[in-house]
Amino acid sequence: MAQEPPAQDQMHYEALAQEALRGVVKSALKRAASPEGLPGAHHFYITFKTDAPGVSGPADLLSKYPDEMTIVLQHQYWDLAPGETFFSVTLKFGGSPKRVSVPYAAVTRFYDPSVQFLLQFEVSGEPGEAAAAPEEPSEPPPAPTDPAEKVVSLDQFRKK
């Protein structure tokens, strides 16, 4: 009896899930851009691929980080503008304000250390193609010891 080959994921569920979780980043940035700003102690470490299509910023800044860069949105950021496919923000680098624009597809890591909330993404040309591991922010999250701790519950986003 011939064994059937395993079914292929032609729906690309992994890519769909990554896209949906990038929506969490977009929503968090929209809230941070509101007149109320970041609530409480929330702040964000956002790591992105500097060589990804659509990333823009001063050449001198991006050349210092030819692969990945982590920015922090906490106290000193201005003109945060989260769009549908990218966000722009002005930050100080070396005492000078500089504007960067980052497509959500270029984001590899989103971390809010105030509540230990972490999302990691793959940035690749093909679904399922692994990306290089991002650099660690200055306040890395604790390493989960139980595989269940790596699961992000989406229950809070479901309609009841």
Which fold would CATH assign to domain 13-32+41-125? SH3 type barrels. (2.30.30)
Task: Give, for all 160 residues of the chain, the pLDDT tens digit.
Answer: 677 888 888 888 988 999 999 999 999 999 999 998 899 999 999 999 999 999 999 999 999 999 999 999 998 899 999 999 999 999 998 889 999 999 999 999 999 999 999 999 987 653 333 333 333 444 444 444 444 444 555 555 555 5
- What is the number of other CB atoms lying within 10 angstroms of the CB of residue 117? 15
CA distances (Å), origin 158, targets 45, 69, 153, 155: 26, 33, 10, 5
